[in-house]
Structure 1
Amino acid sequence: MMSTNITWHDSQVTKAERQKLHKHQSAILWFTGLSASGKSTLCVAIEKRLHEHGISTYILDGDNVRHGLNKGLGFSPEDRSENIRRIGEVSKLFVDAGVITLTAFISPYIKDRDTVRKLVETKEFIEIYVKCNIEECERRDPKGLYEKARNGEIKDFTGISAPYEEPLNPEIVIENDKQPIDVSVDQVINYLLEENYLC
């Protein structure tokens, strides 16, 4: 049951003041794509590069979050939407804290990703489509999930027995099956520089 006896309590420190302290803008870098498309690997590499240049960052990874905050959720369409809703709210808090937040989630539904985009201000949500054909994802498949899904051992598996809705107008498209990771990292960093997220 939702509580009605709650009131928003404002801070005396603003988001702009936190961003000034960090010396850069804050935003959500929302990496979406099929399982094994390389979202987490890319997030780790980008975070390392940003950290080396004094940028405050944090990664929210799909598997990691399901160990704690979202451990009670399954993979039904309803649970997937709730998973993304919660991550969206957490990401919004990080943006308010002045931190660049990298999220690695399949997030298969356009509606759910758009819901997160609406939580923050214009330009604070950067949708990054990590595009990788399913054959390459299956070839990589570090956890053996595609094989299990094709054998019927895993239900509601995105790309096999559950849909993936490609982004319609992502800010960045990374052809992760066609270029080395360093090129993909540069692509994201260059976008952040060109759009003045980094000072």
Structure 2
Amino acid sequence: MNATGTKPLPGIATPKAGSWTSRDANAATNLKPRRNEGGGRCLRIKAMEDSPVSSNQAGRVDDRGIGAKESCLEAVSVNGHSHAGNNLSTVGNSTNIKWHDCPVDKKGRQMLLNQKGCVIWITGLSGSGKSTVACALSQILYQRGKLSYILDGDNVRHGLNRDLSFKAEDRAENIRRVGEVAKLFADAGVICIACLISPYRTDRDSCRAMLPTGDFIEVFMDVPLQVCEARDPKGLYKLARAGKIKGFTGIDDPYEPPTDCEIALKCEVGDCASPQQMADTVVNFLEAKGYLQP
């Protein structure tokens, strides 16, 4: 038992009682940014006398910095996603950052959830049934005691991606953001179900590249345009045909079907499996690949 009366997790060090005081907490709130020698931003922290923070590595808090010494906390990265090292990140606009590892890792989270994290990426035309299959899949997994989360193409535009339009560059950014969030869910041990039109192979392949090999499962809703347009649940095809929506996938903007997806759910005119049956196909794939056990 530790000082708080709770049982520490295996392999995780418990701070000694009194090693972090209210004075430390007050000091931690008094953070001021300044420029480091390399021109990047860093945090300036005035450490308290009894602060446990110290390091003998260059670019971190100086081991003589306990007391009145002010030091620069420089965050660094290797290729933008490093877990160690002192190479400065040069990826995007976020530089001088470092990946911070914690004792509880992906494997530990998967053991806790009794499953393996992955991303199921459902792609297809509007009206092909992506969201319907995603919900059916999530329900089956829930009934089996497996944790999943759906990132729906429409839903994410209510919040996360509300600033994006449907121009080509914004659609690419929309997919990139969803891919990054899906990656975090998978790292948390969750089975993430992303359902978006995602019409371009390049964008989908970029999301695949974000994850470890095998953890991106592309599901193609192989449904003819004729069927999707007949369904037209949102009335979007009608608007597109009338010229009231421009750049609509399948009408005046192309959809690039996958060439090597993990699962293809095919539907023909007059011959289409139910959403439940399609979801069962995905569950069977997950089971065969070992994602439903840690």
Q: Does 1:194 align with 2:285?
A: no
For residue 6 of structure 1, report the CA deviation from its aligned partner.
Answer: 2.3
Count of residues in correspondence between the two structures: 199
1:153-164 correspondence runs (5 A): 153-164=244-255
**Aligned partner of 1:136: which letter?**
V
Q: Identity, % of aligned pairs?
A: 51
Give the structure with the larger helix fraction: 1
Aligned to 2:273: 179
The separation in 1 between residues aligned to 2:102 and 2:218, in whole angstroms, is 29
Of structures 1 and 2, the larger Rg is shown by 2
**Aligned partner of 2:276: which letter?**
D
The separation in 1 between residues aligned to 2:206 and 2:114, in whole angstroms, is 28
1:59-138 correspondence runs (5 A): 59-138=150-229
**Aligned partner of 1:150: which letter?**
R
Instruction: String of CA shifts for 1:43-72, please: whole Å, max 9, x gaps.
Output: 001000101111011000000000000011
* Contact preservation (8 Å) 1:38, 1:176: no
Q: Does 1:147 align with 2:241?
A: no
The separation in 2 between residues aligned to 1:11 and 1:33, in whole angstroms, is 38
Instruction: String of CA shifts for 1:107-159, please: whole Å, max 9, x gaps.
Output: 00000000000101011100000111011101111110001011111111000
Aligned to 2:76: none
TM-score, normalisation: structure 1: 0.97
Instruction: String of CA shifts for 1:66-117, please: whole Å, max 9, x gaps.
Output: 0000011111111111000000100010011000000110000000000000
For residue 5 of structure 1, report the CA deviation from its aligned partner.
Answer: 3.4
Give the SS at the match of 2:220.
Answer: strand
The separation in 1 between residues aligned to 2:184 and 2:102, in whole angstroms, is 13
Structure 1 gaps of 5+ residues are none
TM-score, normalisation: structure 2: 0.66
**Aligned partner of 1:20: which letter?**
M
The separation in 1 between residues aligned to 2:261 and 2:188, in whole angstroms, is 24
The two structures, once aligned, show a CA RMSD in angstroms of 1.1
